[in-house]
Amino acid sequence: MEILKKTMMIKKFGKVFLVVDLCVIIFCIVNVNYIWLINTQVAFISTVIITVGSFLGYKKNVEKRVENATDPALISDDRDKIDEIDDPFDLYSEIKQAEEKELTAEEIKTILKEEKAKVKRNSFKNTIFSATGFASVYRIVGYVSLVLGFFILNNNGLFDPYSYLTGLLITTVCVLTAAVINRKD
């Protein structure tokens, strides 16, 4: 059921991408502005490759983490690492386990130093674990196509910055539009 929902969501994103891109293509053809057409399409296709690459990379990263997680860790009612980082003293849980006591300024400073050190360690650790998401092959291919497209257009005298930026913004507008459409469902 969940997989079917996600494939339907991906199809909605794809439909929004195609509709908006077709509108841009028709607009460029009607105005007989082929420079705009070429620039918007190069930028649009590159950003779609980057977006899809990001999605696939992070999806693979999440699936790998789920595979590596132990079943008791998934089912456990204990606090997870994120809860421990966000609320180390369990201040926001429903059941108060200990009485509150006044902390001195020195105790507060040492607690803050400990928490900052934990966050630094965990952020570096998360960066290493999520490297497959932000360095996926698909995403790198997208960035390479974006840069190569820019240089090819620029070297051939076809580059128009406004239309190129419009092509870059198409993907952003499509993602936001699809997110609003998916929120209603």
What does the alpha-carbon distance between residue 154 and residue 148 come to, in Å, rounded to a whole number?
10
Q: What is the pLDDT of residue 91?
A: 66
Percentage of residues of the chain with pLDDT beyond 90: 23
Confidence of residue 112 (pLDDT cuts 50, 70, 90): confident
Confidence of residue 77 (pLDDT cuts 50, 70, 90): low
Q: What is the pLDDT of residue 107?
A: 80
Listed in sequence order, the residues at least 6 apart from 50 whose beta carbon sits closer than 8 Å to its beta carbon are: 139, 142, 143, 146, 171
Q: What is the pLDDT of residue 17?
A: 81
| Amino acid identity for residue 177 in this structure | T
Confidence check: pLDDT of 106 > 70: yes
CA distances from residue 94 to 90, 103, 113 in whole angstroms, order as listed: 9, 22, 27
User: How many Cα atoms sit within 13 Å of 132 on the Cβ side?
Assistant: 11
pLDDT digit string, tens, across residues 49-61: 888 888 777 777 7
Listed in sequence order, the residues at least 6 apart from 54 whose beta carbon sits closer than 8 Å to its beta carbon are: 133, 134, 136, 139
Range of weakest confidence among 14-23, 52-61, 79-88, 139-148: 79-88
Confidence of residue 94 (pLDDT cuts 50, 70, 90): low
pLDDT digit string, tens, across residues 33-46: 899 999 999 999 99
Q: What is the pLDDT of residue 67?
A: 76
